[in-house]
Amino acid sequence: MSAVAERILRVLEELANSPEGRTLSELASALDMPVSATHRLLADLMEQDYVRKDERRGEFSLTMKLPSLGLRFLSAGGVVDVAQPILERLAATSGELVRLAIVDGEQLIYVAKAQGATQGIRYDPEMGRPVTLSCSAAGMIWLAGKTDEEAMRLVSKQGFGMPADFGPRAPTTFKALMPLIEIARANGYATTHDMFLPAMSSMATPVRASSGDVRGILIIAGPMSRLTDERMSALVPSLKATAAELSEASGVSPMLRRAIKGPNYAVSISE
């Protein structure tokens, strides 16, 4: 990849993480690039309608052009059309947020969701972000299908992140993480408390192709006050049944058929 292309992608990624906008100096500092070079890249992106500038506040932000490309890609791939009604049923059953992440090379990306909570605390994070592997139920159950060496390589590549950004029980070392992955292997699903976010719980299980390969990960997430160990245990049959339904239905989606790369998942979803 050329240096210019790499810089353009870094600008887009930084702006994607800053929906409120960033000033020129903030972007240059965050990207560790000269102000003049950052300004030239922004000018090119503005010319192509990927970035806009708030002249009053001096902040740059993404237009809807890039998100619309992603939405068109998902629509053409059939992911949302196939998954949404199935996710909605599980959300109604669980009363919590249900999400679907698909395998994209060496990462997981959230692509669809359904909100089951009608009152009280509602957990509803942004879509389109990669799954944090080291402190999420989705990440742990995906890593459980890989060798220990491959799991550690993938986590090392992404990093553990800053402890302040996650819950107090988020693993920050492989010594803490690997036993959690082993539990997920044994159970065929993963659960977390107080890890990805303070006072939040999640549970996840794989969505698999007929070959056994993982296409995606199905997740239920919500506040610990509602999504207790007992409640998650009661939801395991519904979670696995919904994952099996998605596995069958996703055969009509070209994207999900292409989603899996790498070794087969080692745990049967029926366990």
| Spatial separation of the C-alpha atoms in residues 63 and 52, rounded to whole Å | 6
| 3-63 carries CATH number 1.10.640.10 | no
Rounded CA gap, 231 and 233, in Å? Answer: 5
Q: CA-CA distance, 220 to 94, in Å (whole number)?
A: 8
| Interstrand relation of 51-54 and 22-23 (parallel, antiparallel or unpaired) | unpaired
| CB neighbourhood size of 119 (10 A) | 6
- Which residue, 131, 197, 200, is CA-closest to 166? 197
Residue 187: C-alpha distances to residues 44, 46, 102, 181, 257 (Å): 50, 50, 21, 10, 26
Q: Alpha-carbon torsion 28, 31, 37, 38, what sign?
A: negative
For CATH 1.10.10.10, the residue range(s) in the chain are: 3-63
The Cα–Cα gap between 173 and 178 comes to 9
> Would residue 58 be called left, alpha or beta, if left means φ above 0 and alpha means ψ between -120 and 50 degrees?
left
Question: Which top CATH class is 69-259?
Answer: alpha beta
Q: How many CB atoms lie within 10 A of CB 232?
A: 22
CA distance 87 to 93: 10
Cα distance between residue 76 and residue 256, in whole Å: 11
Q: What pLDDT score does 194 carry? A: 96
pLDDT at 75: 53
pLDDT along the chain (271 residues), means of 10: 86 88 93 94 92 92 78 56 86 94 86 75 59 96 97 96 92 97 97 95 91 89 95 97 85 50 34 28
Q: List, by residue range, all CATH 3.30.450.40 domains of the chain.
A: 69-259
Locate 8 and state its tokens.
Answer: 């353009």
Nearest C-alpha neighbor of 262 from the set 127, 136, 153: 153
pLDDT value at residue 37: 93
Tell me the three state secondary structure of residue 203. strand
pLDDT score for 261: 40
pTM reported for the whole predicted model = 0.70
Given a contact cutoff of 8 angstroms between Cβ atoms, the answer to whether 102 and 257 are in contact is no
